[in-house]
């Protein structure tokens, strides 16, 4: 479904990804782990089409199509969605409008009309309840004054409403207490099905106890240096990344 081949990416003239290969099939959950500054966020940002990244070599294809040729909106419409696509506060824009606009853009691309207001409210209330979020949340400006945990729940709420084909989550676990982590994990797990894939970036093994990945990859210095199943996370938890760094060097 998503194939990344020999990807090289530079930021401000500095090479960050140095020949990264990754294949994600339908229905699979992949976790990318690795030390700070390895290029984990760069990878998901490049797939989602964020500005500021220069692809100097390699390819990314999704269902055979060249992702790098697609504008960021096209990628979102194709179902490649990175959580925190809107990490910034957007003063005056209510959360509910952003969600509705994003959903309608997706529906339009699918040849559907705008979602009728009652249907939208029914959908959103159901998802809010599932994420244990208060309805007052909808009326607040996007991310304005949100706590870390609220932002993360909001990120998953967006995913639940938009139902992307590839869910990308970057450090969805950072700064969450255990209860919030469980709610977020419940949201992500509810998205798992045979058609949808998940790519999540995390520092910590803890998240992977709640969202059990099919594959784990270790990203060090711009390349995936090791892949394995969930047991790899335990190995990393016990031994850190140093042994891999040494092996790679
Ligand atoms: P990770 O998510 O694995 O911690 P990142 O992908 O965020 O790593 O960053 C990889 C490297 O790229 C780091 O050295 C970081 O400083 C650099 N980098 C990332 N984004 C930028 C940017 N916008 N400007 C300059 N350097 C950046
Ligand atoms: Mg970083
Ligand atoms: Mg990062």
pLDDT in tens, 109-123: 888 999 999 999 999
Is 13 near ligand 1, meaning CB less than 6 Å away?
no
233 C-beta neighbours (distance < 10 Å), count: 23
Residue spans of the domains in the chain: they are 2-248
pLDDT, residue 81, reads 82
Residue tagged 């729940």 (tokens): 153
Is 10 near ligand 1, meaning CB less than 6 Å away?
no
Counting from 1 in the atom list of ligand 1, the atom nearest the Cα of 36 is 4
Reported as a single tens digit per residue, the pLDDT across 134-157 is 999 888 887 788 888 888 898 899
Counting from 1 in the atom list of ligand 1, the atom nearest the Cα of 53 is 23
pLDDT, residue 87, reads 47
Alpha-carbon dihedral 109, 111, 197, 224, rounded to 10 degrees: -30
- Which of 32, 37, 50, 170 to mutate to test ligand 1, by most ligand atoms within 8 A of the CB atom? 37
Counting from 1 in the atom list of ligand 1, the atom nearest the Cα of 42 is 6
Fold of the CATH domain 2-248: Rossmann fold (3.40.50)
pTM for this prediction: 0.91
Residue tagged 């994600």 (tokens): 24
Q: How far apart are CA 3 and CA 16, in angstroms?
A: 19
98 C-beta neighbours (distance < 10 Å), count: 19
Under-50 pLDDT residues of the chain = 85-87
Residue 216, token pair as written in the block: 């784990």
Closest ligand, as measured to the CA of 15:
1
pLDDT, residue 109, reads 80
- Which of 42, 48, 53, 169 to mutate to test ligand 1, by most ligand atoms within 8 A of the CB atom? 42
Ligand 1: which residue has its CA nearest to atom 13? 37
């Amino acid at each position: 479904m998503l194939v990344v081949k020999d990807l090289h990416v530079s930021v401000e003239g500095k090479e960050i990804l140095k020949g990264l290969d990754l294949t994600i099939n339908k229905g699979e959950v992949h976790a990318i782990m690795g030390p700070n500054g390895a290029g984990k966020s760069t990878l998901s940002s490049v797939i989602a089409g964020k500005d500021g990244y220069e692809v100097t070599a390699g390819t990314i294809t999704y269902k055979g199509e060249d992702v790098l040729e697609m504008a960021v909106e096209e990628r979102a419409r194709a179902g490649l969605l990175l959580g925190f696509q809107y990490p910034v506060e957007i003063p005056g824009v209510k959360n509910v409008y952003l969600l509705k606009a994003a959903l309608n853009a997706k529906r339009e691309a699918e040849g559907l009309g705008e979602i009728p207001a009652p249907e939208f409210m029914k959908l959103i209330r159901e998802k809010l309840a599932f994420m244990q979020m208060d309805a007052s949340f909808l009326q607040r400006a996007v991310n304005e004054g949100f706590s870390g945990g609220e932002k993360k729940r909001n990120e998953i709420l967006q995913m639940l409403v938009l139902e992307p084909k590839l869910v990308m989550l970057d450090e969805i676990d950072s700064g969450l207490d255990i209860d919030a982590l469980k709610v977020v994990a419940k949201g992500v797990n509810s998205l798992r099905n045979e058609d949808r894939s998940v790519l999540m970036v995390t520092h910590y093994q803890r998240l992977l106890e709640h969202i059990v990945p099919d594959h784990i990859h270790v990203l060090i210095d711009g390349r995936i240096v090791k892949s394995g199943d969930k047991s790899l996370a335990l190995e990393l938890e016990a031994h850190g990344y140093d042994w891999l760094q040494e092996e790679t060097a």
